[in-house]
Each structure stands twice: as structure tokens, then as C-alpha cells.
Structure 1
Amino acid sequence: MIGCSFSLEAELLAAGIEVRHITEGVNVPMYNTNLPLQGAGALHGNMVVSMRPIPASQVAKAVEVTAAMPRVHGAPIHVGNPASLGIKDLSHPDYGDPVTIKDGELPVFWPCGVTPQNAIMQSKLPLVITHAPGHMLITDVLNADLKGNG
């Protein structure tokens, strides 16, 4: 099963942190990075990240809220300068849609569930079966049950 950011976003919203792509009615912006993954057999590639602009005054809260869910997405992997991840232009995501970044906001990056698809494409495997975007496994597991390491 491949994770999705819906649990992460519900927690951010519950903490009073705007999730810009939801506000703007678009898909979350996602970017290929220069962060190599540990290969497994023929699979290899780089990490994909999703980005949410967060007011600088709320970044610590966003980290705290999402770090409490290590079995889902966990804390962001990077805050700030996208160039250090190999991202040249936030207004041109590799997947999803661009969002407005306002004065006083920082780009905050989380590992993305598109990473496996990116690794598959980079590995040029002859046959792969995966899910279609927006068609995911839905369970009765609550966000509260995903918090902590248990």
C-alpha cells in the first residue's frame, strides 16, 4: 500500500494551519528531487516531495503535528530553500499544480507517495501494476490511530 497526504493534511487543518492547495482547489504541488533512494534490485531513483507553503510562525507547529504521525508521512524532510533539493522553480511542479506562496511563508517539503511511481519510471521496468491517482485504499483507521510508533 502506498501512503497519501490526506491524513497529514487533516492534521494540519485541525491545528489551524492552512493547506494552500485545498484552499485554492488544486492538486498538491510535487517535485522530483536530487535525493537518491536506496535501490532494491532493479528499482532505483530519486525521492519525490510534496510542498505546502506555511507561514514562518507556524512551521514549528506543522513539524510537531506531522512528526506525531511517523507511520503515515511524519515530519517534513526540508524547510526553506528548494534548490538544496534540486528544485529549480516552485511555480513549475513536476506533478500536481502550482500554489500561491505569500510573503512570510516558507516552502515545507514532505516525502511523497509519488516516489514509488517515479522510481518505477526511472528504473524502466517492463511491467508494473500500481494504483491510479485518486483511487486509493480506504480503511476505517482513524488519524488518531496513526500517531506514534505503535
Structure 2
Amino acid sequence: MTNSILTVCTGNICRSPVAEAALRMHLPELDIASAGLAALVGRDIDADSATAARDQGIALLPHSARQFNADIGRVADIILVMETHHRQEIAARWPQFLGKTFLLGHFDGAQEVPDPYRQAMGMHEHAVEIIARCSAAWAKQLELMRS
């Protein structure tokens, strides 16, 4: 049974906090959190990512970026990463988590979420569109597993 999901990206200020918020909207009964593999610790969500998320109806909570570590990974039932290289890094550094680490786009043709950090607003909007679609797909799959 899935009780907790961790979303992971690089800096934990663009993609993973938006994915955390999107998943929380679909699965409010689960414990959903986020972290970064090279987190900009303590930083709030990127302003452009926040704007793109709000424009697409994703409700954000206050955020403070945090660094992924073994303790954070251990508590998560599922770890959702944005890009294949995130999964590879987790496999290399924490091989015990590989079996529960998947692409957020796993159910959408293994779609990766490109990093919009320091990119034009259109890249943030594109990333959020992918996140919203893939989060809904995960929510649907998890609901099917429960029934």
C-alpha cells in the first residue's frame, strides 16, 4: 500500500515542488513531499514555476528546498523523479531505493520533465503541463491499485 510519495528533481525549486503540489491535489490522503539531488537548500519555489503552476490551477503551499538523503528516501513508498539521470543518480548513490524510484512520466511513455530553471517562461509552462498530466496519470494508477 502506498502512503507516501517523494518527488525529486535537481534543485527542488521548480519541478519537484510543483509535482508535489499537483499530486497532493489528486491524492490528499497521502503524505507527499519533495527534495532535490543538488538542492538550493532553503529557497522558495522559483517565481516563474510558481506562476506557471498557479496559472494551470495547481495550488502551492509554502516551500523550502531540501537536500535528498538516505533518511528522506527511506520514508517514501514511491520516489518520482523528473529525468532518467535523476533515477540513475539515485541508483548509484542509494541502490536500495532503485526498486521504488520511477519517472514521473512513467505512465506517459516514460516522458521526462525538462528543467526550466533560468529558462524562458514558456519552458516553465511546458514543464508544468507535463507535470500536471503525469501527476494525474499516477493518481489514476494508484487509485486503480486500491480498488
Does the alignment reach a TM-score above 0.5? Answer: no
TM-score normalised to structure 2 length: 0.28
Which structure dedicates a bigger proportion of its chain to helix? 2
TM-score normalised to structure 1 length: 0.28
Which structure dedicates a bigger proportion of its chain to strand? 1
